[in-house]
């Protein structure tokens, strides 16, 4: 994916709308912080930047992972989907 940001306002809007913190990822994926850490360690999630107590992710990566997790939950835990 290519991004063409022309000025500071576009950069700020991009960061505000497309960059997620670990807490936001936890909420979107419906998993725990510990699970997010395990996914990072296992290479299943790749943060764009790691900070001391947090990581930053691109929304598009997280939305893709959400679809993948929903498909796996439906396959392996169909009783949870009711």
| Whole-angstrom distance, CA of residue 28 vs CA of residue 78 | 20
Question: With 80 as the cut, is the pLDDT of residue 77 above it?
Answer: no
DSSP for 8-28? Answer: HHHHHHHHHHHEEEHHHHHHH
End-to-end CA distance of the chain: 36
Q: Is residue 23 assigned to a domain?
A: yes
Q: Looking at the domain assignment, is residue 20 inside a domain?
A: yes
Q: What local confidence, expressed as pLDDT, does residue 76 receive?
A: 86
> pLDDT at residue 81 above 90?
no
Q: How far apart are CA 75 and CA 71, in angstroms?
A: 6
Length of the chain: 82
User: Strand, coil or helix: what is 74?
Assistant: helix
Q: Is residue 34 part of a domain?
A: yes
Total domains in the fold of the chain: 1
**CATH code of the domain in which 65 resides:** 1.10.1660.10
Q: Which domain holds residue 38?
A: 15-81
More confident residue, 36 or 79: 36
Structural domain includes residue 2: no
Instruction: Tell me: pLDDT of 82 over 70.
Output: no
Could you tell me if residue 4 is inside a domain? no
Q: Is 3 among the domain residues?
A: no
pLDDT (tens digit per residue) in 12-61 = 999 999 999 999 999 999 999 999 999 999 999 999 999 988 999 999 99
């Amino acid at each position: 994916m290519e991004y063409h940001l022309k000025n500071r306002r576009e950069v700020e809007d991009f960061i505000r709308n497309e960059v997620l913190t670990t807490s936001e990822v936890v909420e979107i994926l419906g998993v725990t912080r510990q699970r997010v850490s395990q996914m990072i360690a296992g290479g299943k999630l790749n943060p764009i930047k790691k900070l001391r107590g947090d990581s930053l992710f691109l929304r598009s990566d997280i939305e893709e992972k959400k679809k993948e997790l929903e498909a796996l939950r439906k396959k392996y835990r169909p009783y949870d989907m009711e």
